[in-house]
Chains A and B, each alone.
Chain A
Amino acid sequence: MRFRDYLLRRLLLFIPSLFCVMVFIFLLVRMLPGDPARLALGPDAPMSQIIALRHSLGLDKSTHIQFLIFLENLIHGKMGLSLLTNRDVYQDITQFYPASLELALISMSIAIVIGIPLGIVSGIKQNKWIDHLSRMVSLFGVSIPRFWLAIMLVLIFSFYMKIIPISGRIGSGIPPPAHITGLYLMDSLITLNIPAFVSSLKHIILPAISLSVSPLAQIVRLLRAGIIEHKGAPHVMMMKANGMPENLINRKYLFKISFIPVLSIIGLLFASIIAMSFVVETVFSWPGIGRYGSNAVLYADFNAIVGVTIAAGVTFIIVNFVVDMFYGYFDPRIKYG
């Protein structure tokens, strides 16, 4: 009963956060020096054209009304034209978003699937060789620039070893799988399109590894610290003394309580994946929001910048919300307390 209240409370916070993000983005972009209409039309455009464009863009109205127009357009899927693609930004984003989402999800999955067992083992076998190894690996992982790592991986696996293709999301000869979720791996599995699956896998593996290294390292460190902190705890001693098998204690009981601080940063790790995808996608020419966004920033394509920021912001808020739900499972004190 109370868990539902907790979820409801988190949901209710969701909407104002979204709203505030919109306001913030809107205000920040409106702060730009210069006149958007002039910038869009170029320095030689006659004044009358500029005034006309300003009027049609609603730039001559007051800020509040501009914001409402902004929101209204947003709901109708009109985010303004992109300077680079000459389409409505909304279309660009819907086209590129699934690629980034897939990349982010795979990267996060790698980080979690490898990071959790490694963290547990590292914490339990403290100061044995595997612990030292994983600590070194973690330190490397946190310190390595992800864009540089991406380039190094491409050098090794694509250029020298030639086993992984250099760029893109799927092989040039292979048509993308049917669009069900937009995530190539999932779609090709659902439609049992094996060539597409293998090709997508080969293309996604290097960018995903590049993005996952830093979150993986942080998960390992934090989980290890948690396990070391809790492994001498009275409840662990009680279970051991009364005959509970040690691997059950470690994998179930010690793990859950040590995982709580990791959970609180998972949202952040996902955000850092989103942020770093701007660079990694550029390296791999991955057709996602990141590459689109970094081009937009480079060429001052304001509508696109706003669009990308909104997409990233919304994704972040949703991810945080999902993580909050898991939090309730891992720490029951939150549920009822």
Chain B
Amino acid sequence: MDRINYITKSISCRAYLESFFRGVYVLRKNTLALVGSGIFLSLLLMCIFAPWLAPYPRDAGDAIHLSQSFKSPSVSHICGTDQMGRDIFSRIMFGGRNTLLAGLIIPLVGASIGCTLGLIAGYIGRRIGSIIMRITDIFLSIPPLIIAFLVIGVFGPSLKNIIIALSIDWWPWYTRLMHGEVISLREETFVEASQLLGAKSTRTMFSEILPNAIPPIIVKITLDIGYAILNAAALGFLGLGILPPAPEWGLMVSQGRLYLPRIWWITTLPGVFIFSAVFSINLIGDGLRDLFDVEVM
């Protein structure tokens, strides 16, 4: 018995490794996705290492240098300075930590909750399944973002609340996606085989169905990172996110509006970064979608 287990495990390990390498190979053929990964990774690294890389790290806090205010982009201040004389590039680097963090966490949290619920609803079905899907439908019948507005309206603006609010907004989509996947996978013969061999429900759920349902979920999570960044920035723009003087890309865009059109760099440049982040992650997501050959939006 042990020998069979060992052989099975080593075959499946090798299979995983093979598919991983094949994945990397295909990804490499897809230059756009590679470019996207490059851009996104550099943005991420730039923001993670902001405390060491930023030219004026204290400008991301509450430093004020009024004598330097409104300087246009130059060598010493790549993105210029804002109304308080703070270096915008440094603020962008630190602000990215907030925006990108939100963008990464929200889909992951939403997916964890949503997929678990979807898995249960799809696999176990019956009463619990119906109830879960009904609740999901109710959440889905409210326009997106409105829930987030409500939650923030109730609990007040802050970065943490943005993440919570948007995660609450997000999970129903994962439940529905997962539910659909599980329903169609449930009928496959390998699931039947697993059940006949006596596996418990949880085991079948997690080791048979889940790995096959994962590809669309991964694609969706990747694409959702982009949407989450956009939404988090939008909420920040409205002043519903992290509060000044802390930097956040959406907030910076909004703060710079007062000084348009002459002082254009405060508003324009953070937006360029938002766009680059979302654009690059969409490239990655598209590449993944082609790789897994999946039709997720």
Contacts and interface: CB of A to CB of B under 8 A. Distances in A.
A28 to B, nearest CB: 6
B147 to A, nearest CB: 8
A326 interface: no
A23 B297 CA distance: 31
A64 B41 CA distance: 52
Most buried by A among B141, B279, B295: B141
A274 interface: yes
Contact of B145 (A222, A225, A261, A275): A275
Contact of B141 (A140, A265, A313): A313
B61 interface: no
A320 B250 CA distance: 30
Most buried by A among B142, B268, B282: B142
Contact of A278 (B137, B238, B250): B238
Contacts of B283: 139
A147 interface: yes
Contact of B271 (A148, A261, A308): A148
A315 B295 CA distance: 29
**In terms of DSSP, what is the predominant structure of the interface of chain A?**
helix
A313 B142 contact: yes
A50 interface: no
Nearest to B249: A145
A151 B274 contact: no
A305 B155 CA distance: 13
Given A21-B138, A297-B238, A143 B145 contact: no
B141 A143 contact: no
A312 to B, nearest CB: 5
Contacts, number: 142
A155 B154 contact: no
B264 interface: yes
A188 to B, nearest CB: 29
B146 interface: yes
Interface residues of B, number: 44
B80 to A, nearest CB: 16
Contacts of B226: 142-143
Contact of A145 (B150, B151, B152, B230): B230
A144 interface: yes
A336 interface: no
Nearest to A24: B138
B244 interface: no
A33 B143 CA distance: 24
A66 interface: no
Interface string B230-270: 10011001111000000000100110010011001001100
A275 B143 contact: yes
Contacts of A320: 141
B257 A272 contact: no
Contacts of B264: 155
A297 B143 contact: no
B270 to A, nearest CB: 8
Interface in B98-129: none
27 contacts: A20-B138, A25-B150, A28-B151, A29-B154, A145-B233, A145-B234, A145-B253, A145-B274, A146-B230, A147-B233, A151-B260, A151-B271, A152-B271, A155-B260, A155-B264, A272-B145, A294-B238, A294-B240, A297-B149, A297-B152, A297-B240, A298-B238, A300-B153, A305-B153, A313-B141, A313-B146, A320-B141
Interface of A: 17, 20-21, 24-25, 28-29, 31-33, 139-140, 142-148, 151-152, 154-155, 159-160, 218, 221-222, 225, 261, 265, 268, 271-272, 274-276, 278-279, 282-283, 293-294, 296-298, 300, 302, 305, 308-309, 312-313, 315-317, 320
Interface of B: 137-138, 141-146, 149-157, 226, 230, 233-234, 237-240, 250, 253-254, 257, 260-261, 264, 267-268, 271, 274-275, 278-279, 282-283, 286, 295, 297
